[in-house]
Structure 1
Amino acid sequence: MGLFSTIKRIVTGGDAAHKALIRELKQVPKDKLPEALGAGLHNLCLQYAAEFVREELNKPDSPFKNSHKSNFLQEMVIVNYWITDKVLADKKKTIMEHLHNNYFKYFHIKDIETEKDCLLNDRYAVYHLNWDEDIGDHKGFGLKVAENIYGKGNEHPGEIASFWIIFYTASTIKKFEDFRSALKSAKIKI
């Protein structure tokens, strides 16, 4: 798949998935909405991450070619959860708790409380510190994600991996901003 196709898919993807999730959420009783939203957001995060990982691993010149597929997928899901917290949840604990519960079930992590505190929240803090909205410098963010994909202390393709991670993250932030707008239009309060 060429660069133009990659850009087009990343920038335009999400509309159908967003519409389907909003249709589902409209049917959910208000008291069950956080749980349903957590499950739906988990599925969106997983879908976006899986598409990116699959596409990157199928490119012959991908900087992620030598990464471990499950580490790559898991880290991109965590990036998407960070985006969800940043764009949608705005530190609303209920939504993030449901999202985290789906993460632990999907990745078969048993020690939920320890992992939640150590893995997810720590990553969010590091990612937040390295995603500089003010000056638009996200290089540190991309390098941190690449380090987490390959493992701390292991060699990784640095700059080029960072570029694609930043591109993917910026595009995914836009998708979740669009989803937030669609939720507001549908009068679904989160």
Structure 2
Amino acid sequence: MPDNPHISGVILAGGQGRRLGNVDKARLRLGGQKLLEHAAARLGPQTEAAVVAGGETTLPGLALLKDDGGGPLSGLLAAYTHAGTSAVPPEWLVTAPVDSPFFPTDFVTRALGKAGDATDAVVGSSGDTLYPVCALWRRSALDRLPDHLAHNPDRSVRGFLDILRWLPLDYADRDDNPFFNINRVGDLIRARKHLARNRD
């Protein structure tokens, strides 16, 4: 359980895996486990509760939220709406894509330490590369998301961040990029080698 219990985790799993042959990424196996299992193992312990947004695959104990298939912001909107139905809505939501099997297990702790009273979001980065879907979001800042999606043709996460007050959280000090994500067959092979190397 994190120091601040009012945090919900959101595994974004709505991608269609086109560059992998239209596969359900959540079901892809890495080291004998589904990518969804890797994501849950890394994100779940950092949160009070976790959900899967998008896709069709889930695990016991993880609610599966449907979205409109419009990308990561659709999954974030589904999670925001779901969080609002809780008896005690979370103060923060943390998002991680299902295809990032090495998502940092200290992300929430570091992100909370970086966030100030006026911070709407803290976004993962590695050197010069920003990973907008790996982020800690203040739930009250997401009040702006429905209107943004309704009136803005830009459905990118970066486009939404442009109207928020956010800070980067850099992991360039790590030997390997913890936000590495699997988009192609070559990425999956690289991830398998990385996992095998770190288990030896």
TM-score (ref. length: structure 1): 0.31
Larger strand fraction of residues = 2
Larger helix fraction of residues = 1
